[in-house]
Amino acid sequence: DFTTRRAAEKFDFTQTYPNTLTALLTGGVKIPMVLPNDRQGFQACIKTSNLADWRTARIVRIHNTLCLTEIEVSENMLPSIIDDSRFEILSEPYELHFDDSGNLL
């Protein structure tokens, strides 16, 4: 439902549209709301999740949907995966840091 300006600028209509028309499925080319930066992207996702308390958000960050060998999860997700043999915890929890433009470092 949301993307960042950085990601939207990389969108290649010349590849996506022909593939979509060939597949006869238009669902993959709906244009999401474009937000200025990563911080506002996170905020928009959490705001529209209708959680009573935003601190309970369960977030999964996927760097590349074509390669799911490593993902990042929020601390609230840990109870769901800690005993699941498909997952390996690679680090301790850490804070996300943003640059002056609001993008993740």
- Give the tens place of pLDDT for each residue, 47-87: 999 999 999 999 999 999 999 999 999 999 999 999 999 99
Quote the pTM value: 0.80
Q: Is 83 left (phi over 0), alpha (psi -120 to 50) or beta?
A: alpha
DSSP-derived pairing of the beta strands 72-73 and 60-61:
antiparallel
So where are the chain's domains?
2-81
How many CB atoms within 10 Å of residue 87? 14
How many CB atoms within 10 Å of residue 10? 8
